[in-house]
Structure formats: structure tokens, C-alpha cells
Amino acid sequence: MKILLINDLIANVEIISDTLKAAGYNDLFSVSTLDQALKYIGTSLDSDTPVDLILLDLDIHDTNGIGALLTIKSHRTFEDIPIIALTANKESGILDRAFAAGASDYIVTPICPIELRARVRSALQLRREMLKRMFREQELEHLARRLERMTNLDGLTGIANRRCFDDTLVREWVRNGRDDRPIGLLMIDIDHFKKYNDSLGHVVGDTCLCSVARAIQAATHRPGDLVARYGGEEFAIILPNTDYEGACSVAEAIHTNLAKCNLHHPCSHETESVTVSIGVSSGVPNCSNSPEHLLKAADNALYLAKQSGRNRTKS
Ligand code: GH3
Ligand code: MG
Ligand code: MG
Ligand code: MG
């Protein structure tokens, strides 16, 4: 653990260094002015191991000790670093002001080595516990973010999963219904994907699913649009505040993007590349319809697109 000593009395510096080094605290850095201290703090802000404890002499001659304390504590990275205040005069009310300014402990000079060791040990112990707690909190935040991703994203393609789709559809249904706005819905299914897998294998099939997901994603532009993997080789898009015409233009963009990708399909006689069929529906949410109606309409349209030759959009 790193200790910074801010003190301009050579005698004190020597006794503190000797005592702490004898106690095994070897990472000790000593400065004699606040400017030097701030410079040191500034450089250790960039380092992995910033200061863990500051010993600050309040009677330092070039500055007011309480002001120095406040200046150090005003650095955001250093607000959590314990500061032990040193003073020759504990009767003057300076200790009250030191604690109010953020000191965590004090030592009256001349220094008693036994007291110094005990107070430093205790301050560093608290610092260690605080670092452990901070680390655990960071771990927990990291886990919470991972869990959130796992709950809402599809593991293969990285786009939203079915659960996220279902939740979003209900939310958008309520929101767009309140504003009397239409929701557009697209159901997208890869054509002859079973044959693709059968001839190229599942691993290549998985890669293809990722490429198709990207091509679909690239066809949407508004922040509220949600592209999801609905299941197997089916995708779905929720387009808030979008009518039939708008939804059909997104479908067209998907066909165009996929054609540009030109993913070779060994068993597709018509295009020789991977294509999709798309069903489109759109409607203003009201009490005589439901998200299920909208889904059913898009699904029926998708069936029609398959029946009438695939690689096309029906609504
Ligand atoms: P259609 O044009 O009528 O949609 O024909 P299709 O072959 O695409 O439809 P079908 O429902 O018969 O087959 C879907 C195939 O999608 C079956 C399965 O091999 C493949 N599939 C589903 N999920 C995955 C997956 O996660 N990875 C891979 N590689 N293939 C998948
Ligand atoms: Mg399918
Ligand atoms: Mg099918
Ligand atoms: Mg299919």
C-alpha cells in the first residue's frame, strides 16, 4: 500500500519514515509542499496503484493545512483516500475543522512511533476493506450487465431474443395505442434453410444466420426499431409509429441488403443465393385488436410469401 507524506519538518519526516519503514511500509513518498503533493497526486491518478493513505501536516508553512486538506479531497479519485492529519496544536479547534474537511484520523506531534504505527495500520486496514467492497460492487455490476445481456440477447447473432421481442411488443402496443399511432411488424423466414444446412453443415448455417441478422439489422434506421431472432431461422421486427407503406419499405431494404451480401446457397435454383420471405402487418393498437392479431397477420402474410414463390414480401 502506498503512503504519501506531506510534511516540511525534517525531524518529523525522518521519524515517520524510519518508523513506517521499520514496520514494513516501504512504499512511502515524502513531499514538503502542497504543490509537490498535488503534482504527485496528479501523476498517480494515471497509475494503477494510487495513494492509499496520506499523512498531512496541518502546520505546513507554505499553506493553510485545512485548505490543503480540502484541495486534496476535492480530487474525485482521492475523495476515498484516508488522510491522517498531523498537528502540534490540538487545542486550537483545528481538529474539528480537519475532521469536517475530511480527515479520518489525527496524530499530535511530536510523534510517538507506537501511536503512529497503530493509526497507520488501522487506516490501511479500513482502506483495504473499502477496496475489497468496491471490487465486489464492480463485480456485481458486471454480473448484472451480463445477466441483462443474457436475458435479452440471442447468444448466436447478438440481436434481441424472443423474450425481448415479446416484452417490447407489449410495451410498444401500449405506447403507440396511447398516441394513436400504427405499429409495423415484419416476420422474416430464410428460404430453404434446411437444405442449406443439410448441404453445408450447421456451423456454416450458423454463420449464415449471423450474416442474415446483420443484413436485416442494417435495414432499420430508427432508434426505436427492434430486430429480434424470433426462433430458428426466423426473425421479426417491431417498427413503432410505422404504417404498411413504411414497413414494406423496410422489407424491400432487407431483400436489397441480402442480394448485396450474395451468400451462396447451393440448393436455391432461382437465385443461387440466400433469400428470405417476409410477411408484413401494421395496425393502430385499439381495444378490438391485440399484439397477437398483429403477429397472426404478419405470419399469414409470410405464409402467402412462401406459397407464392419465396424471396418476396406479402402483406
Ligand atoms: P422454407 O423456405 O419453407 O422456410 O424452408 P426451410 O427449409 O427454411 O424451413 P424449415 O422450417 O423446414 O427448416 C428450417 C431449418 O432451419 C431447420 C434447421 O435446420 C434450420 N435451423 C433452425 N435453427 C437453426 C440454427 O440455430 N442454426 C442452424 N445452423 N440452423 C438452424
Ligand atoms: Mg421457419
Ligand atoms: Mg419453415
Ligand atoms: Mg425457412
- Give the pLDDT confidence of 246-272 residue by residue, as tens digits: 999 999 999 999 999 999 999 877 778
| Ligand 1 mutation target, pool 157, 197, 267, 302, most atoms within 8 A of CB | 197
- Which whole number is the average pLDDT over 58-65? 77
The region of weakest confidence among 45-54, 130-139, 175-184 is: 45-54
Is the CB of 194 inside a 6 Å radius of any atom of ligand 1? Answer: yes
Which ligand minimizes its atom distance to the CA of 197? 1
C-beta of 202 in contact with ligand 1 (< 6 A): yes
pLDDT at 39 over 90: no
Ligand 3 center–CA 59 separation, angstroms: 82
Q: Kindly state if the Cβ of 39 falls inside 6 Å of ligand 1.
A: no
Ligand 1 atom nearest 189 alpha carbon: 4
Q: Phi and psi at residue 287, in whole multiples of 5°?
A: -80, -10
Q: Is 265 in the pocket of ligand 1 (CB under 6 A)?
A: no
Q: Which atom of ligand 1 is nearest to the CA of 203?
A: 29
What strands, in cross-sheet order, belong to the sheet with 28-31? 28-31, 3-6, 53-57, 83-87, 105-108
171 Cβ closer than 6 Å to some ligand 1 atom:
no
Mean pLDDT, residues 82-110:
90
Please compute the mean of the pLDDT values over residues 59-70 and round it to a whole number. 81
- Cα of 176 to ligand 1 centre, how many Å? 33
Q: Ligand 1: distance of its center to the CA of 137 in Å? A: 43
pLDDT tens per residue, range 153-170: 999 999 999 999 999 999
Share of the chain above pLDDT 70, in %: 97
Q: Whose CA is nearest to atom 25 of ligand 1?
A: 232
